[in-house]
A and B are shown apart, each in its own frame.
Chain A
Amino acid sequence: MKRVAICTVVALLVGVMASVGFAAPLKIGITKIVEHPALDAVQQGVIDSLTAAGYVEGEDVEYIIASAQGDMSVAASIAQDFLARDVDLVVAIATPTAQAAVEVFRGTDTPIIYAAVTDPVGAELVPSATDPSGNENVTGVSDMIPVAAHLKLLLTLSPEIEKVGLVYNPGEANSAILTEMALAAAPDAGVEVVTATADSTANVPLAAQSLIGRVDAYYVTTDNTVVSAIDAVLAASEEAKVPFLMADPTSLASATLTAGFDYYEHGLTTGEIVLSVLSGTLPNEIPVTFQPKAEVQLNLDAAGRIGFEFPLSVIEDAAAILYGGVVFERAAD
């Protein structure tokens, strides 16, 4: 009798533990268009943000990570795979993957959170940047760069900067949009933007070199193609003895100065949106999140190599400085 009772209690306990342990973990599908330090950093930011909020990988949440490896058709297959696996939420990193996800999950109410999309309205992921009511199941974070502010920053470096050289790949949607913005903002900022195109990483050095002697500064946005060959642009700018502004702070050593935001931080911001949606806020209540104000970081070593001196005001405002190979960060006030 006692044995039966004990067995029943044990069985019940095991059953309870099993049901708790086997409670289906949340399935989050993360899809990106290609493996790339910036996009990988976004992914890590999202995962870390969720882990910090108490979602333990393997227990509370299961991540299904897929990369389209540059192939658009695979982006569609990945989205379809997520749909078949009945994921609870999709994090889509970069424009083509986000578009594929929105198309595949149309009509469902699985939330799609996009990240690293420069122009979500232009890509038609959401109808409006400010009014989220038409979002349906889509919202996310944009990595739109304040291009006008960057051009004005160049002017504060030296009033002699008149022509700014911009190397970009016209085949990259995000890059093309930013370049258009730069060209539009140039007259207002008081500079002239001269572009040089590179349709692949191999052509970046040539494009950068074509600007030597024609420009007073170099500028590169978050263009995947050019960023992959960034040292070639730095080399050209040093040959021309002009400063080089990069919109990606992770490459401070490859530029004279950078102004931008960290893609890992971008991932953390995306993670916050995911948490918000997971705790009940609907995507059509969350407008597009744009990255907060960008920070300026200076590479004094590179500046020294071309004999360029930063004005004191710029140094005082900088968030970090690279000197003697070491990065010094401003202490938070």
Chain B
Amino acid sequence: MASLLIHALEQGLAYGIAALGVFLTYRVLNFPDLTVDGSFVTGAAIASLLLVNRGVDPFTVLLVAFVAGCLAGVVTGLLNTRLGITNLLAGVLTMIMLWSINLRIMGRPNLSLLRVDTATRIVDALWTPLGGLAILVFIALLTLAVKFFLDAFLRTELGFALRATGDSEAMITAQGVDTKRMKVLGLALSNGLVALSGALVAQYSGFADVGMGIGMIVTGLAAVIIGGTLIRSRRVGWMTASVLVGSLIYRVAISLALRYGYVIGFQASDLKLITSILVVLALVVPRIREQRMRKVSAC
């Protein structure tokens, strides 16, 4: 049970970085961005390519992946702000473009990292006093560092302008802010985070595959919505924390479904159904609680 929890936490936090990226566009900027299905793989692809072909150190590749993701976000931003393509469509177009680009980067649909020293492997070998928790601690430190940087950024003047762009574009334009630039910035930052997550997950899983980003928007949104339902706050620090919590819950739901689904007679193919039901429960329970409280106060 303990190792089940540890693995769920590891994945929950690693994917949590991508969820923070989705949070930035979907919640803060109010821009539903589908680029993430592609930029997640872009991060994984670039990281894997550099690790395998150029022997670049696994921690630097995370930074490079972040930059690559930013570029992908910029493309979507430009499609939307300069060419007037609607936000959903712009994201989809970039995602489709990235499918071909990612294949080009990797040179093949699947690139193995099993024979290379990845960040997680190095950490596991070096931090021996932590034993089986070494990788979890590493991922947790990285994710929390990202979270704090994001929190700090959102509290700067630029960050406020970004948040205002998502809240009320008209108002902030009247204040003299270039909302077009804000959108491009937000998309760049968001996809940078998603690509960083992709690079981390590729190293964690031992391979990069062109299909590993499929459904990333769903995973990200699930984390954002679950977290947002459980922890309601308008304060930045709590909002980003809720996203990470949501990501953890989602991954724990998957692990539980895998492990105990058979008890209810479910088969291997019912995994996605069970996971969704668990997520629905996670969303419904607080709502029932709220309704009960409202009924009481309505008396």
Tell me if chain B binds chain A. Answer: yes
A103 close to B (CB within 8 Å):
yes
A237 close to B (CB within 8 Å):
no
Q: Residue-by-residue, is B210-243 near A (CB-CB < 8 Å gives 1, otherwise 0)? A: 1110110001000000000000000000000000
B108 close to A (CB within 8 Å):
yes
A67 close to B (CB within 8 Å):
yes
Residue of B whose beta carbon sits closest to that of A172? B109
CB-based contact A72/B205 at 8 Å: yes
Instruction: Output the residue of A35, A70, A72, A172 with the most chain B CB within 10 A.
Output: A72
Residues of B within 8 A of A66 (CB): 258, 268, 271
Q: How far is the CB of B116 from chain A (nearest CB, A)?
A: 9
Distance in angstroms between the alpha carbons of A102 and B207 in the assembled complex: 11
B3 close to A (CB within 8 Å):
yes
Residues of A within 8 A of B110 (CB): 95-96, 99, 123, 173
- Stretch from A53-61, A76-84, A243-251, A285-293 at the B interface: A76-84
CB-based contact B209/A73 at 8 Å: no
Interface contacts (Cβ under 8 Å), in number, total 106
Residues of A within 8 A of B11 (CB): 73, 76-77
B122 close to A (CB within 8 Å):
no
Q: How far is the CB of B289 from chain A (nearest CB, A)?
A: 30
Q: How far is the CB of A184 from chain B (nearest CB, A)?
A: 14
CB-based contact A81/B255 at 8 Å: yes
Interface residues on A, range: 35 or more
Supply 25 A–B pairs (Cβ within 8 Å), ascending by A: A69-B269, A69-B272, A71-B215, A72-B205, A73-B11, A73-B201, A74-B271, A75-B205, A76-B11, A76-B204, A78-B258, A80-B4, A84-B1, A84-B3, A84-B4, A99-B114, A99-B207, A100-B207, A102-B114, A122-B108, A123-B114, A124-B115, A171-B99, A171-B103, A173-B108
CB-based contact B205/A100 at 8 Å: yes
- With A95-B110, A171-B211 in contact, do A77 and B255 touch (Cβ < 8 Å)? yes
A234 close to B (CB within 8 Å):
no
CB-based contact B206/A99 at 8 Å: yes
B155 close to A (CB within 8 Å):
no
B30 close to A (CB within 8 Å):
no
CB-based contact A171/B115 at 8 Å: no
Q: What 13 additional pairs, Cβ within 8 angstroms, besides A80-B3, A96-B207, A100-B207?
A: A66-B271, A80-B7, A81-B259, A83-B3, A96-B110, A99-B114, A99-B205, A99-B207, A102-B206, A103-B206, A122-B112, A123-B110, A125-B112
Residues of A within 8 A of B115 (CB): 124, 127
A148 close to B (CB within 8 Å):
no
B23 close to A (CB within 8 Å):
no
A176 close to B (CB within 8 Å):
yes
CB-based contact A171/B15 at 8 Å: no
**Which 8 residue pairs across A and B have the least CB separation, nearest first?**
A103-B206, A173-B110, A124-B112, A80-B7, A72-B212, A124-B114, A99-B207, A67-B268
Q: Residue-by-residue, is A200-240 near B (CB-CB < 8 Å gives 1, otherwise 0)? A: 00000000000000000000000000000000000000000
A160 close to B (CB within 8 Å):
no
Distance in angstroms between the alpha carbons of A223 and B211 in the assembled complex: 15
Distance in angstroms between the alpha carbons of A77 and B3 in the assembled complex: 11
